[in-house]
Chains A and B, each alone.
Chain A
Amino acid sequence: MKEKMNKSEAARRVFLRKLVRAALSGAALVGASTLLGRKTMAAAKSFPTPDYDWTKHQWGYGIDATRCIGCLRCVEACKIENGVSLDAHHFRTWVERYVYLEGEEHARVDSQSDPQNIAASGSEKVYRFDNRYEGKKVTKAFFVPKMCNHCENPSCVQVCPTGATYRTKDGVVLIDHEYCIGCQYCVQACPYGARFFNYEQRVTDKCTWCYHRITKGLKPACVEVCPVNARIFGDLNDPDSDISRFIRDNRVQVLKPSMGNHPNCYYVGIDKEVV
């Protein structure tokens, strides 16, 4: 009886040893292939522009709300340039309208995706603010363009479980669409509502400051088309750049400073009601 037991025990040990060995080699194989896979992927996807040096720049963005006329050409340009879904629920940039009517304490707020504005334009693909305040006594009104703030301390990057979203050395928050698992934790974490889910690619999406353009020395599409220079973009490392001068010459603000995200979109001319 004892001998039999020992025999079965010995066989079991051999079996267990084989099991452990198989598991270890399997794990090693998976590990090696992933490391190799990551390396080749990183090499292929380094930059949209081959000879661009991301250590030489620090990008920043300015918004002069006193200049914005709410024409929404920026929204249109962004959608076309970046292939953003042409509906009323996905925007890399949008414009808010704040209107104080006589006798009212709080501003009335809407954006181009408001159903009334869509009804006025006739299509979700055409952006327009309607004339709903015609004939009303408006005491104060202004437009506020919004977008990803490319924060120095971005909540979205903090919560991403895979590291698919990251901050580049030149200060832009990007998403690796090949690596994003589409959990949308970052969508929840962004205090500014700048992120959305790209249902075609099934990954998270947002403004990149047109990284494919700025690394070639061009301006982001929204800045390029703004007819009144309400959107300012440039290199914070260059003291003579548009953005450095904008920050130096104005008393600038950022959105929701209490969040501690340290946004890199600097605003002029916004109001206590701006969210």
Chain B
Amino acid sequence: MEGLFHTMSYTGYVYPNETVIPWTILIVVYPYMTGLVAGAFTVSSMYHVFGIQKYKPVARFALLTALCFMLFVPAPLLLHLGHPERAFNAMITPHLTSAFAMFGFFAAFYIILVSLESWFAFRVDNVARSKSPNRLKRFFYRALTLWSDDVSERARAFDHKWLFVLAIIGIPGAHGLHGYVGFVFGSLKAREWWGSDLMPVIFLFSAVISGVALLIVLYVVVSKVRRTPIDQDCLRGLAQTLWGFLMFGVLIEVVELANLFYKNLEGIELIRTFIEGPLFFSYIVLQFGIGAALPILILTVMMFSGTRGTPFVVGTFASATLALVSVFMMRWNVVIGGQEISKTMKGLLSYNLEIWGPEGLMAAIGVLVAPLILLWIMTRLFPPWEPTKQPVS
């Protein structure tokens, strides 16, 4: 038995069984990834559904990002399960009262939807690539086009119609999937820190923040690597979206916290002690301060003073990186924080992060890096970039 589980240290009184944490860093990574998917998909839909032209340079890249991350969303869950080989039990005999019973179906549906949407988005390009002189390449792309090389006006219109329809279905799909993750936590009455009606909304706002932030970071990095100019209009649009959602996101979290303290239910003193003590750095400093207030300030100053060019790219890149940290810390503070407050409301536990092992830091990093590697491969196979255009400024 020794070494099979890792115990938490605690102060005050906690139930004996609480000294082993049920959900570890992998369950922090899981909502983080679904959030990135929902946010990236939102950016892609801004162009594909709402026709906002300035998002065109990253629209297809955003779609690929959503797909790559979504394909890895089940990974942290499977690594966490005691019996991953039984994972399909939840789909074979879904227990419908469970908030989690439908996750497998929703996730599968969404993966199929994003795959289909990507198929339509890249079909014309794939037809062009299927004419390659390389036999292997020719076969690969021809198979992907399902041996149809019709790129007529009519066929393209058909592609666009489907792209539009799938993107529309994808909006409630992506946000439903992520709001649902918020519900999984928010509907648990046993934990004061989780049981909140606002949880799905908070999750959704933070999802858009993280997805947009990820795209900003990747877009800037990829442009530097490819030595292509950054489309300033596009970056400005992304920065504005990040700016707005950050403000809304912080506001809702503050409302949630105010609500918790105003209701003043039993155990609130413990929560106060928790926020002022062990959670202060990860919650107040990282999530709200450095992760949210600072990027809001940077973006506000830049928008107000009309910063352009390289300073704007640097400022936006920094803000987006900070926002990514903030949202990760938000997931951490919800998932880990919630479990550090004992159900006795008389004690606080402290999670000791393992480095190695299936539920350790390295596994979590691996799960987060894997979609990026896949995305790199995907962008090599299906270059999502529009023909380079001269920078506006």
A residues in contact (CB < 8 Å) with B: 5, 8-9, 11-12, 15-16, 34, 38, 85, 87-91, 94, 96, 109-113, 146, 155, 157-164, 179-185, 187-197, 199-204, 259-260, 275
> How far is A72 from B255 in the complex, measured between Cα atoms in Å?
46
Known: A109-B346, A196-B17. A187 touches B22 (CB 8 A): yes
Contact of A38 among B15, B93, B189, B346 (CB under 8 A): B93
Q: Is the interface of B mostly helix, strand, loop or mixed?
A: loop
Counting chain B CB atoms within 10 Å of each CB, the highest count among A9, A90, A188 belongs to A188
B15 contacts A192, C-beta separation under 8 Å: yes
Residues of A within 8 A of B344 (CB): 109, 193, 275
Tell yes or no: B7 within 8 A of A by CB. Answer: yes
B188 contacts A275, C-beta separation under 8 Å: no
B residues in contact (CB < 8 Å) with A: 1, 4-5, 7, 13-20, 22-23, 77, 80-84, 86-87, 89-90, 92-95, 97-101, 103, 146-150, 184, 188-191, 339, 343-346
- With both beta carbons as reference points, the residue of chain A lying nearest to B343 in the complex is identified as A193
> How far is A184 from B13 in the complex, measured between Cα atoms in Å?
22
- With both beta carbons as reference points, the residue of chain A lying nearest to B6 in the complex is identified as A89
Q: Give the distance to chain B from A23, nearest Cβ to Cβ, in Å.
A: 12
Residues of B within 8 A of A203 (CB): 82-83
A9 contacts B16, C-beta separation under 8 Å: no
Q: Give the distance to chain A from B36, nearest Cβ to Cβ, in Å.
A: 22
Contact of B148 among A9, A182, A190 (CB under 8 A): A9
> How far is A160 from B20 in the complex, measured between Cα atoms in Å?
20
What are 29 inter-chain pairs, A to B, with CB distance below 8 A? A5-B150, A8-B148, A8-B149, A88-B16, A88-B19, A89-B17, A90-B17, A91-B16, A109-B344, A159-B99, A160-B95, A160-B98, A162-B93, A179-B86, A181-B81, A182-B82, A182-B86, A183-B82, A184-B23, A185-B100, A187-B22, A188-B23, A188-B191, A189-B188, A191-B190, A192-B343, A196-B17, A275-B13, A275-B346
Contact of A181 among B22, B83, B190 (CB under 8 A): B83
- With both beta carbons as reference points, the residue of chain B lying nearest to A157 in the complex is identified as B97
A164 contacts B1, C-beta separation under 8 Å: no
> How far is A180 from B87 in the complex, measured between Cα atoms in Å?
9
Q: Give the distance to chain B from A224, nearest Cβ to Cβ, in Å.
A: 22
Known: A12-B148, A160-B95, A161-B103. A188 touches B188 (CB 8 A): yes
B345 contacts A181, C-beta separation under 8 Å: no
> How far is A85 from B1 in the complex, measured between Cα atoms in Å?
8
> How far is A194 from B225 in the complex, measured between Cα atoms in Å?
54
Please name the 7 residue pairs, one residue from A and one from B, whose CB atoms are nearest each other, closest first: A182-B82, A193-B15, A202-B82, A163-B95, A109-B13, A184-B22, A113-B16
A193 contacts B148, C-beta separation under 8 Å: no
